[in-house]
Chain A
């Protein structure tokens, strides 16, 4: 007749052993959580700065690309109510959403005034004058005005980075940037 191996614990002592294990876990668990929290916090801190700087550079790059596309004719918007959207995905999966919309054209004068479409309707925009050196000088220049909005999504703990820029396309085809602004926060493209 086979004998049962001796029990490690008396059946009456099993509850005490369980209690001991629970007490040990209760002591160790907060410590483990605390240490993992430290590691995550420091990691987030380092990552946040890198993501933030990368986001700003990414939207700036998107503006340069948009200006190049406007200059080369890859983006053509024929009226003020038109817009185009595209997305850029960088190798490290940093998504940048870009929206380009055309605003009403503007006319600038040699005297340093900005005229809207209504004010410029009656003008002869090809009018030339002669300066005191005998050179031909234009009186007006027409500009196509575009708004470029580039957004890089939020990466905790920093919000999204958005760039808003006003870009002008001259009648010679040259594209220039007239103003740029960066914002932080949540800015869905509308």
Chain B
């Protein structure tokens, strides 16, 4: 095992040392809260907020709004047609003034008295996502899943038939657990209790996978420290 730490002579190398220092600042929180952790935390929030501003400006506002509007004011667009409002699918030219104005109206939230103007922008956002998600959930999560659940309970083999029965029983009883229009008594009570058992197995499996996810994040950090920072080579 030999040590080949990142060089301090290149910007990339210095960056790795900075990254390692900040990593230890954050990990120091495990001992107790301290000024190094607070410094790193505030540095992270500042850099993140600044990064989100500049990212959304250059990747969305500039190419999807400013550039098409600039071309539209010159009477051009993506297609051959001329005219500021000569829009067609994918080429909206001057009509993009509408989202431009709505986007600026969002900032009225920062000014108390005229903050209600931002509701118009929010209404468009909410309307778009409500429409998209209603159909998405209906088609992707309801219809397709019901279709896939309609499977034969007898497959010709005992093992897979038993599995199909267990699956269907689990699905139906779990769904019945979420039926709150009637009190869970009698047959419904028994069914929903069985459903709870299946749900607990599901949550237990989810917990197991969550542990895997969290541990792997720590593994990744140690791999950065050992491989990129210290360059430990075997």
Q: Do the two shown chains form a genuine complex with each other? A: no
Where the two chains meet, the residues of A that have a C-beta atom closer than 8 Å to any C-beta of B are: none
Where the two chains meet, the residues of B that have a C-beta atom closer than 8 Å to any C-beta of A are: none
